[in-house]
Amino acid sequence: MKIQEITSIGQMNFSFENHSFGAAAIAAKRIVNGEIVGFNVFERPNKNDSRELRYKTRFYFGLYEIDGTPAFRVSNCKDLDASGSHSLIASWNDAANDVVFIAARLSLFLTREGSDYFIEESNFIPA
């Protein structure tokens, strides 16, 4: 099953490590260690059926050096310098590579983008 084919929360694994704020905390630690982390974002389109999900998009997050200092960046691809990429915490901000600030900024960004979000590589249990 492809991630875009998921239509119900019954197909998802809601463990701490891959969903919501828990996933943001785990991802922040990985990002500070130099990894690029992907998240799949879903919406719940039907207010009468809270189990229904609709895949929205995928975002990638990581640290990108700008003039020798790290910036916390978001992109629609793994190239953090690609067109459309931008900094969520800029390189001139002392918190750009702080795990707590990254986790908070990740949570804020992803909550605004969708109803549910999961770390890319461990986000569902096949039906």
Structure confidence by residue, pLDDT tens digits, 32-68: 999 999 999 999 998 888 889 999 999 999 999 999 9
* pLDDT beneath 50: ranges in the chain: 125-127
Q: Sign of dihedral through CA atoms 103, 105, 109, 112?
A: positive
3-state secondary structure 78-96: CCCCCCCCEEEECCCCCCC
Q: What is the DSSP string of the chain?
A: --GGG--BGGGB---TTTBHHHHHHHHHHHHHTT--EEEEEEE---TT-TTB-EEEEEEEEEEEEETTEEEEEEESSS-TTSTT-EEEE-TTSTTTT-HHHHHHHHHHHHHHH-SEEEEGGG-B---
CB 31 within 8 A of CB 102: yes
pLDDT value of position 127: 40
pLDDT value of position 17: 85
pLDDT value of position 123: 52
